[in-house]
Amino acid sequence: MSNVFKKLISKELGEVNYRRYSSFLKKNMESKINDSQTIFNDMYDKLKYRDLKSITKMHNRLNDTMLLAFRISRNFFVAFLFYLSASIFLISKSIQPELTIAALILMSICFVYKTYEFIANKFCYIDAQIVLVYKAVLDKLILNEHKHTQMK
């Protein structure tokens, strides 16, 4: 499972472009250079011929993905509290040990999944940089289209 930003960029711009952008940013991080303009120009060139309706849909999907990433981070704390309190409750009750162990194992599996999802989305610095550039490109395209429409 990958993070939500990687899924979005791979779907919107293609897996090949995602890999190119991420490897470019990784190289720049290693050499401590912050050059997002190259990626911006490449994305802009790929998207500038799309119509406003298409760009608006892409922008809406980006906003939905950013909200999803925020919800994943916010809901992790709730999941942790639920896991902790349910575990304490099951251990403190005098239920059959086999049933308690089975319930704890199932809850632990679910919690490990939530933890993995949280970590994958929390520590995706490169993907977040790509998404920020992608958002800037979409914003510029929408703004240019509005300016172009007003000039007519």
pLDDT in tens, the chain (152 residues): 679 999 999 999 999 999 999 999 999 888 877 788 999 999 999 999 999 999 999 999 999 999 999 999 999 999 999 999 999 999 998 789 999 999 999 999 999 999 999 999 988 889 999 999 999 999 999 999 888 777 76
Residue appearing with tokens 């940013």? 25
Which three-class secondary structure state does DSSP give residue 93? Answer: coil
Distance CA 74, CA 79 (A): 9
Write 94-102 long-range contacts (CB < 8 A, 24+).
none
Cα–chain-centroid distance for residue 135? 13
CA distance 128 to 4: 10
Q: What is the pTM of this model?
A: 0.84
Q: CA torsion sign, 121 to 122 to 126 to 127?
A: positive
Spatial separation of the C-alpha atoms in residues 120 and 4, rounded to whole Å: 9
Amino acid of residue 101:
I
The whole domain housing 122 covers 4-151
pLDDT value of residue 71: 94
E runs forming strands in 4-103: none
Structural domain count of the chain = 1
